[in-house]
Structure 1
């Protein structure tokens, strides 16, 4: 997110953002500020279209919807949520320094230290950077408190705000890796884990397999029964896959109706068996609508399975699993193909 708005424009966008936040009963936290400021500015077409569709459907907004909008249309476009936390940290710094300046005591050393730390805060804070900076801030606050300043309550409030921001950053980063519909990992979470898992497989010389699965004729389900039923099918598929794996195995939704299963320390034969077991479990299901009892027909999945090759890059590994999936699709669907 890069903003070069004029002062007048930014004030107008902020006013509109606050109005929308209040109108939709949302908390005025950094995440909602960011979403609705972007909406008010009209610079993020995809975000605006998603929000407009939501509003036109007379659906309410919630914390979960806000996180989903941010992860999909804001963070994914440019930067991580740490930029928001960085800005909030800077606000806390400003409050502390203002408090120092309004007292009759001189804390020039702490003021200088705080300003130095403040200058080190950049939008792309890593976990370790954040840990280090928070530690430095707290040490300076302790020094100020022990000096007998008359603004102890303000310092205590600043400490609470810093702890809250740190917790919020960790939570947002965790949620940014999750698919909000199915509550399993999304593509970003999958790619992050894949990179780490490949590194361990290379170092340890252990086996690693990948299964890519796709729901057959999913568009027909949506067209026939509606998107709410389609969403329930996606949740059911995700839950079934998650229940079928264990330990360090990872399940992720990597596309609309496409899922990935990452299997460290699993031989190729074991991955093929798992894919076949999951395939059969779906083939045997007879799903019905809860409210009418109407049958949804057979829900089947096609699978592609790949065994990691030594020194193979992640992209090639995934592409081979995808090619195996396409082979399953092109030769009748509801089958498992390994490469």
Structure 2
């Protein structure tokens, strides 16, 4: 997320951003600032269309909707999150340095140290860099002693804001890898953990298996019973699979009705058995609408299973599991196929 606006443009977008945040009664935190600055600038057509559509249908934006818009149209993993935090840190720095200057106290050494740290807030800043810089700032603040009560209060406020930024950063980082509907990992979270698991399997020479599961004829559920029922079915499937795994195993929603189950330290036969047990669990379910008791019929899933080959590209690993799933679908659905 890089901005090349002129100073005049930036001022105009800032004014519009604050007006829009106030108009919709939202907190002026980094996430909302980012969303509405993008909206005000008009640079993100997909985001603007999504906001306009939502406002037209409901007239208001909730905090949850704002997070969904951010994750869908702006977020680019931790790079965007650290960019937001970096900009907030710059603002806090300005307040600290201003406080030092206006007290007319001899804090030139601390002021220079803080300005040096501020200069390190570059666009390429990593998450690890942010953590390191935050620690440096807090150490520098702690070293500043003054008899000025107002100055101490300003430093305490800056320390509190930095702590709050760390909490926000952790929350945004978590939300960026979570599916807002099912509250399990999304594709971004899955791909990150898949890379980590594959690296571990290659280094430690341990087994790693992947199951790709897809709800059979899910479109029929939506067409017959509506999207609200379809959403509840997706939540139920996610919760049921999550309850079927344990330890370091992971389930993620990687597509509309497609789920990935990552199984570290699990042999191929164990993955096949788990997939078939989950398949039978759904096959035996008697699904009914909560509010009416109407029977929804049988819900089945198809499964593809693959075992990781040492030093294999993760895309190839996923492709083989997808190919196994494709064979299960072609064989009549409600089946488990391994490759």
TM-score category by the smaller chain? over 0.9
- Distance in 1 between residues matched to 2:58 and 2:235, nearest whole Å: 23
* Superposed displacement of residue 182, structure 1: 0.4
Aligned to 2:191: 191
Contact persistence 1:215–1:301 (CA under 8 A): yes
* Superposed displacement of residue 147, structure 1: 4.4
- Distance in 1 between residues matched to 2:183 and 2:99, nearest whole Å: 43
| Structure 1 residue matching 2:58: 3-state secondary structure | coil
Q: How does 1:275-314 map to 2 (within 5 A)?
A: 275-314=275-314
In angstroms, what is the RMSD of aligned CA positions?
1.7
| Structure 1 residue matching 2:9: 3-state secondary structure | helix
- Distance in 1 between residues matched to 2:163 and 2:192, nearest whole Å: 26
- Distance in 2 between residues matched to 1:52 and 1:269, nearest whole Å: 50
Q: Deviations over 1:302-325 (max 9, x none)?
A: 110001112211111111001001
| Structure 2 residue matching 1:261: 3-state secondary structure | strand
Aligned to 2:29: 29
Q: Return closer, same or farther for 1:126/1:4 CA change in 2, 3 Å cut-off.
A: closer
1:72 aligns with 2:72: yes
1:248 aligns with 2:248: yes
* Superposed displacement of residue 77, structure 1: 8.8
1:47 aligns with 2:35: no
Contact persistence 2:146–2:152 (CA under 8 A): no
Q: How does 1:1-339 map to 2 (within 5 A)?
A: 1-58=1-58, 60-76=60-76, 79-144=79-144, 146-149=145-148, 151-339=151-339
Contact persistence 2:268–2:307 (CA under 8 A): yes
What TM-score do the two structures reach when normalised by structure 2? 0.95
Q: Deviations over 1:241-282 (max 9, x none)?
A: 100000000000011111000001111111011111111111
* Superposed displacement of residue 286, structure 1: 2.2
Q: Return closer, same or farther for 1:143/1:188 CA change in 2, 3 Å cut-off.
A: same
Contact persistence 2:209–2:263 (CA under 8 A): yes
Contact persistence 1:97–1:111 (CA under 8 A): yes
Q: Deviations over 1:87-146 (max 9, x none)?
A: 0001011011111111222211111110100011134433331221111111211222x2
- Distance in 1 between residues matched to 2:171 and 2:251, nearest whole Å: 20
* Superposed displacement of residue 78, structure 1: 9.8
Uncovered stretches (5+) of structure 2, i.e. residues with no partner = none
- Distance in 1 between residues matched to 2:124 and 2:229, nearest whole Å: 39
What TM-score do the two structures reach when normalised by structure 1? 0.95
Q: Deviations over 1:6-37 (max 9, x none)?
A: 33433333333333323332211110011112
Aligned residue pair count: 338
Uncovered stretches (5+) of structure 1, i.e. residues with no partner = none
Contact persistence 1:32–1:66 (CA under 8 A): yes
Of residues 218-227 and 201-210 in structure 1, the stretch that sits farther from structure 2 once superposed is: 218-227
